[in-house]
Structure 1
Amino acid sequence: MTLGTRTNRNPAPPEHGPSPADLIARAEAMVPELVRRQAETESRTYYAEDTHRRFAEAGFYRILVPRRYGGLELGVETFLEVTKILARGCPSTAWMYCLGATHALPAASLFGEAAQAELFADGDFICPATIVPGGSAIRLPDGGWRVSGTWRYCSGSPYATHFMGHALVPADDGGPDQTLLFVVPRSRWRRLDDWGDQLGLRGSGSHGITVDDALVPDHSAMLGVHVSQVAVERGTPGRTLHGNPEYGGGPLSYMNMEVAALAVGMARNALDIYEEMLRERTTLLPPIVPRGENPDYQLWFGDACGMVDTAEAALAGAIRRWQRTCAAGPEAFTREEDLRIAVICRHILRLCWRAVESNLFPTAGSSSVRGGERLERVWRDMSTMHNHTGLAVFLPTVAVRDLTKQRLGLE
């Protein structure tokens, strides 16, 4: 059996594809329907097939795919704006879309031409990934790897074309296991029925994935690499191949910008709900007036608006900084810079959560937080987001300590 055998049918690059404005308008047009279908999405544990088709037809799955392989190559700013808008409609849908389509960027950045020609053969690229190493990988005598294992929380798996994971490779000298970054096509793994009972993000398609003795060619695997720790200061294969500096950016900071965009979209979702309450509902205690005329509700809403506006401005600044650093050349994207942008994203997340958890959710009233209500769902989704290992453990501890050590030149 030949490792990595696949028919190469790379589509031609689009001559007149949709513009960023087109994609943003398409996402905005979908928001009302996403709001209406939230309960259905949670019950199914992923968004509907017709929603998936609309995303594909709109070009959402090709935003980050290189033009060389039929993608739109419109960059992270457009992708994160679409993500943010979708989260304003349905956080689960946005999470599933984002964490499935986003890995076109590391795939197009870190892997060489042979791998990319296979990975992007169909144009659309949906590839859930996990940052926690697991399973096992064994080097084959004639080259390549045999990979097996189960990886949990693979958001975006229901309609995925690929899976990106980290396997453990035993060291020959008995030392610590090494990490193998690998990508396998959909035909080499199966999705588990293990999602939907969580507090929130129940419709995010974050199912587990099992790989059984998959043969992975050398060009689709990288030994000793973890996607969050890749050093890009010496350049990347994708930057050279595509001539696009965004395929040479820091992966850690980009991963955190994704979640920051989701958080801003979710917080905007909560603000939309609360504003509707201010316009349509009255106060619970005398004097009975429209909530929007009550000084306390004005304070709670205005303060929350300020926090979310600040978070969104910080996100825009983080994206610009990421892009400027990419454009400045490979040597500019140091580990310190990667960590700085990641830590900015930490505070974006904190602001968004504070606006919802401290201002909006507790003052909306019990009728607004019953099971199945839109605000209740946003609160559950944001609570679950804050339970993510990367956000709850890595960012507040390891990332901020490592930033200090990088700044001071410590090991």
Structure 2
Amino acid sequence: MFLYDEEIARRIRERSAAMEERGELDDWLLELVYDAKLFKLFVPAEYDGLAAALPDALRLFERAAWIDGALGWLVTIGSGGGFFSATLPEKEAAALFSGREAVLAGSGLPTGTAKPVDGGYRVSGRWKFCSGSTFASFYTANCLVERETGSEIRSFAFLPEQTEIIRDWEPLGLRATASHSIAVEDAFVPEGMTFDIASEPRFPDPIYRCPFLPFAQTSFAAAAIGIARHYLEEARAFAEARAPEWRAANPRRLDALAGEIGRQERRLGDAAERFYGAVDRTWAEFAGAGGIGLPEGLWQEAGRLSQEAAAVARGGAQAVFPYLGMTALLREHPLSRTWRDLHTITQHSVLLPLGDDLPESEKGS
């Protein structure tokens, strides 16, 4: 699946620094996203969505992140919310997901509380890292529900008028994603605006039966690959621009930089090929079985190769960085922005193996 031509990609990149400073995507860029239904990749056709297969969506995530890291992350996270269209009650799902600008922001952490009342719940809570908070058409979050028979975790959907945005997103990278905290205070949520994401989906599409962990791992890894490709391209462009000066004054530095970029491009290409190969094979078997009965080991392999690809992407940027000099430290330079975006996305817990599971590419670095 193709996303935006070179002219549009150039225009987006020309605005990347300004969007980072502002902390949000430009309105015209959001309009492009709405037009392409990128936030509705996993929304069913019944709600005017694309009902995309996972391998196709991953390649779109990579392309969007290659253009701009914040764009890629927001498309990845925003589209993932389409999963809930299959588990929210039918009437409410149609109302929330059918619109052209339908996109949710939210959190999976159960940092809210819900008290059962007639017709629904009274909910209060605060949730961090809600990407796309400033343009979301609705919000979702998990709460701990206290019942006489015990407690349970349940998911809730909130309307914008019920939700306060707390502008506290001040990260190293992905600064234009508006990943602020949200809060609700004693809000009434009717029963129809609650759901259990583990319940049987209403739609037959295999994507709604995809296990959450490998879905998140593969999605985030694809975006990381895209940002890493952009970083290495910026490094190569920098080397070419410095070549006349360095060839005369410091040819060893030029050769070292060019050699390292080439090595890391090959490593990233190989890791991406392994990653997409595993995803394509796993999805073909999973979809062929109607989203049931796939051996767990296949998903685990896709998850492992997601972590490996993220590690290679991060390690490659670290290997090239020392050769770039002070330019790479300038906040407004694309080298700095892509480096920071890459290290922010690969910091996500689902991409970080621990201990003995650390890939060889990251050991000793």
Common fold: TM-score over 0.5: yes
Which deviations, in whole Å up to 9, do the C-alpha atoms of 1:262-295 show, x marking residues without a partner? 1001101111111212322128767547789x54
1:129 has 2:106 as partner:
yes
Pair 380,124 (structure 1): closer, same or farther in 2 beyond 3 Å: same
Asked whether the equivalents of residues 257 and 324 of structure 2 are also in contact (C-alpha less than 8 Å), the reply is no
Which residue pairs with 1:180 in the alignment? 154
Pair 388,97 (structure 1): closer, same or farther in 2 beyond 3 Å: same
1:37 to 5, 8, 15: 15
Which residue pairs with 2:171 in the alignment? 198
Report the AA paired with residue 311 of structure 1: A
**Gaps in structure 2 of 5+ consecutive residues:** 359-365
Q: Distance in 2 between matches of 1:390 and 1:130?
A: 15
Asked whether the equivalents of residues 149 and 212 of structure 1 are also in contact (C-alpha less than 8 Å), the reply is yes
Which residue pairs with 2:318 in the alignment? 357
1:264 has 2:225 as partner:
yes
Pair 244,330 (structure 1): closer, same or farther in 2 beyond 3 Å: closer
Equivalent residue of 1:74, what SS? coil
Which deviations, in whole Å up to 9, do the C-alpha atoms of 1:338-397 show, x marking residues without a partner? 444323211111011011112x212122223322111111111222224334444xx537
Report the AA paired with residue 96 of structure 2: L
Asked whether the equivalents of residues 156 and 206 of structure 1 are also in contact (C-alpha less than 8 Å), the reply is yes
Q: Distance in 2 between matches of 1:365 and 1:157?
A: 36
Which residue pairs with 2:43 in the alignment? 65
Pair 33,153 (structure 1): closer, same or farther in 2 beyond 3 Å: same
Pair 386,71 (structure 1): closer, same or farther in 2 beyond 3 Å: closer
Shift of 1:337: 4.5
Asked whether the equivalents of residues 282 and 289 of structure 1 are also in contact (C-alpha less than 8 Å), the reply is no
1:317 has 2:273 as partner:
no
Shift of 1:55: 1.5
Root-mean-square deviation (CA, aligned residues, Å) is 2.8
Which residue pairs with 2:354 in the alignment? 396
Q: Distance in 1 between matches of 2:5 and 2:177?
A: 17
Equivalent residue of 1:387, what SS? coil
Report the AA paired with residue 308 of structure 1: L
Which residue pairs with 1:4 in the alignment? none
1:114 has 2:78 as partner:
no
Shift of 1:52: 0.9
1:160 to 124, 136, 139: 136
Q: Distance in 1 between matches of 2:47 and 2:247?
A: 64
2:201 to 237, 242, 253: 237
Stretch of structure 1 that moved more, 112-121 or 264-273:
112-121
Asked whether the equivalents of residues 47 and 203 of structure 1 are also in contact (C-alpha less than 8 Å), the reply is yes
Q: Distance in 2 between matches of 1:45 and 1:247?
A: 32
Q: Distance in 2 between matches of 1:170 and 1:108?
A: 26
Which deviations, in whole Å up to 9, do the C-alpha atoms of 1:80-122 show, x marking residues without a partner? 3222122122212221232123211x21343343342232131
Q: Distance in 1 between matches of 2:6 and 2:114?
A: 43
Report the AA paired with residue 301 of structure 1: I
Shift of 1:207: 0.9
Equivalent residue of 1:349, what SS? helix
| TM, length-normalised to structure 1 | 0.78
Report the AA paired with residue 343 of structure 2: S
Q: Distance in 2 between matches of 1:187 and 1:267?
A: 38
Pair 397,164 (structure 1): closer, same or farther in 2 beyond 3 Å: farther
Q: Distance in 1 between matches of 2:116 and 2:280?
A: 41
More strand by share: 2
**Gaps in structure 1 of 5+ consecutive residues:** 1-19, 402-411
Pair 387,304 (structure 1): closer, same or farther in 2 beyond 3 Å: same
Report the AA paired with residue 366 of structure 1: M
Equivalent residue of 1:268, what SS? helix
Equivalent residue of 1:361, what SS? helix
Q: Distance in 2 between matches of 1:28 and 1:75?
A: 25
1:147 has 2:120 as partner:
no
Q: Distance in 2 between matches of 1:220 and 1:397?
A: 41
Equivalent residue of 2:126, what SS? strand
Which residue pairs with 1:308 in the alignment? 268
| TM, length-normalised to structure 2 | 0.87
Report the AA paired with residue 173 of structure 2: G
Asked whether the equivalents of residues 163 and 184 of structure 2 are also in contact (C-alpha less than 8 Å), the reply is yes
Q: Distance in 2 between matches of 1:244 and 1:116?
A: 16
Q: Distance in 2 between matches of 1:350 and 1:220?
A: 39
Which deviations, in whole Å up to 9, do the C-alpha atoms of 1:224-274 show, x marking residues without a partner? xxx5xx4x8xxx324xx3x32222212221111121111001101111111
Which residue pairs with 1:220 in the alignment? 193
Shift of 1:123: 4.2
Taking only the aligned residue pairs, the percentage that are identical comes to 24
Pair 90,69 (structure 1): closer, same or farther in 2 beyond 3 Å: same
Shift of 1:180: 1.3
Asked whether the equivalents of residues 124 and 184 of structure 2 are also in contact (C-alpha less than 8 Å), the reply is yes
Q: Distance in 2 between matches of 1:275 and 1:363?
A: 11
Report the AA paired with residue 232 of structure 2: L
Which residue pairs with 2:363 in the alignment? none
Which residue pairs with 1:408 in the alignment? none
Stretch of structure 1 that moved more, 205-214 or 315-324:
315-324
Q: Distance in 2 between matches of 1:371 and 1:355?
A: 20
Pair 321,115 (structure 1): closer, same or farther in 2 beyond 3 Å: farther
